[in-house]
Each structure stands twice: as C-alpha cells, then as structure tokens.
Amino acid sequence: MFTGIITDIGTITALTQAGDLRARIATGYDTSKIDMGASIASDGVCLTVVSLGTGWYEVQISAETVSKTNLATWAVGHRVNLERALRVGDELGGHIVSGHVDGVAEVVAVAEEGDSTRVRLRAPAALARFIAPKGSVALNGTSLTVNEVEGAEFGINFIPHTKSVTTWGDVKVGDRVNLEIDTLARYVARLAEAGAT
C-alpha cells in the first residue's frame, strides 16, 4: 500500500530480458534499509526488490505487468517516480494507492499557466467513468487531484513543487502514463450499479 507521495526519483541504469524483464534502478534511498522482497512503487507500479547494492536495487517485471503499464517504454537513463511502501504510523499525505495500475492514459495537451503546468490526459474508455472532478487519481505513482472531466479526457494542474520532486517536470504530449483510479470511486460505481439492478 502507498500514498502517492513520491519520495525519490530513480534512474533506470540497466534493462535485461531473460524470461521476464529485469530492471536496475539507481536510487537515493539507503538501500541498506531495504529488505529483499520489499515492495517499491516505480512509476506507480508495485514491484518487488529481487537484488540490492549500494545506491541501487533490481526488480523483475512479468510480461503481464509490461503489457498493462507503460513499462515497455522504459529505457536506460529513464527517470522514475519512486515510493516505498506505507508503514504503520506513516502520514497519509495523498490517498490510498495500491500500486496496481488500471490502465494507461495518454497526455494530449500541455500548457503553462503562471508557474504551474496544466496537463490534459485521455483515459481508456472503460476507466473514464471512475474519474470525477475534484476526485483523486494516481498518475505514474503520483497522487493528484482532477480539475475537470470531459468525456474520457481530464485535466491535472502541476504546481512547481510537484514538478521539482517528481518526473512531471518532463511531461510532454504523447507520453503514456500509468493510471490507477481511486479505490473509493471504483466501489461507489459498483454500489451504484448494484442499486440500479
């Protein structure tokens, strides 16, 4: 379980394909305090640590995970939003995020508004109904508030702080973004469907 508050930006330093995809990620985390088998959200995808060294860790990524996320676009040098798993007693600064990506959204517009950046994204049609104005979404692991929704498209505003502590300062049109909808939105929609039958 995660909160969507990014605590480090990692860098992909190696990718190998041998059965599953294996990625080495350089990090500012103290890796002596990371256990083998720990979960770290990497661009919003909950991945298991399978190897560790000073300043880096490795994860193994199944073909299923690659097919359902934007991880196929990872390349050496790619920067990645990172978050360690939530511990009992940690502050819940964002919203509850599972690290189980629901689909991939596409950035369709980027515009500067003062010091902030307004980003418009298109969600997969099957997920669009779960996205509501002033609701929460996790995009590449970042807990964000939705500004507006028009059909399958929705807008997010990135303040300077968010752009500086995540990879969102690099956003451009055409980027494919890991999308996790708010768990509460999923249950509300399911209850509404049940009530309608």
Residue 98 has what pLDDT? 84
**Strand 153-158 relative to strand 116-122: parallel, antiparallel, unpaired?**
antiparallel
Q: What is the mean pLDDT of the chain?
A: 91
pLDDT in tens, 124-168: 999 998 999 999 999 999 999 999 999 999 999 999 999 999 999
Burial of 197: CB neighbours in 10 Å, binned 0-12, 13-18, 19+: exposed
Residue 186 has what pLDDT? 65
Per the CB < 8 A criterion, the answer to whether 82 and 7 are in contact is: yes
In a domain, 1, yes or no: no
In degrees, rounded to 5, the angle at the alpha carbon of residue 180 between the alpha carbons of residues 59 and 174 is 85
Say whether pLDDT at 172 is over 90: yes
User: 191 and 109 in one domain?
Assistant: yes
| 3-state percent helix, strand, coil for the chain, nearest multiple of 5 | 20, 45, 35
User: 174 and 147 in one domain?
Assistant: yes
For a pLDDT cut of 70, what percent of the chain falls above it? 89
User: 113 and 57 in one domain?
Assistant: no
Residue 81 parent element (H or E): strand 79-84
Of 131 and 86, more confident: 131
Say whether pLDDT at 193 is over 70: no
Number of independent structural domains in the chain:
2
In this prediction, residues 163-190 reach a mean pLDDT of 87
Say whether pLDDT at 123 is over 70: yes
Residue 3 has what pLDDT? 87
Per the CB < 8 A criterion, the answer to whether 150 and 164 are in contact is: no
In degrees, rounded to 5, the angle at the alpha carbon of residue 38 between the alpha carbons of residues 26 and 50 is 65
In this prediction, residues 158-187 reach a mean pLDDT of 91
Residue 187 has what pLDDT? 61
Say whether pLDDT at 63 is over 80: yes
pTM of the model: 0.91
Residue 30 has what pLDDT? 97
User: 107 and 63 in one domain?
Assistant: no
In a domain, 139, yes or no: yes
pLDDT in tens, 6-41: 999 999 999 999 889 999 999 999 999 999 999 999
Look at residues 135, 127, 119 and name the one whose alpha carbon lies nearest to residue 172: 119
Other CB atoms within 10 A of residue 88 CB:
4
Residue span of the structural domain in which 189 resides: 103-196
Residue 27 has what pLDDT? 98
Per-position b or e across 51-81, b if 16+ CB within 10 A of its CB: eeeeebbbbbbeeebbebbbbeebeeebebb
Task: Give the distance, in angstroms, between the CA of residue 22 and the centroid of all CA atoms in the same chain.
Answer: 19
CATH number at 67 reads 2.40.30.20
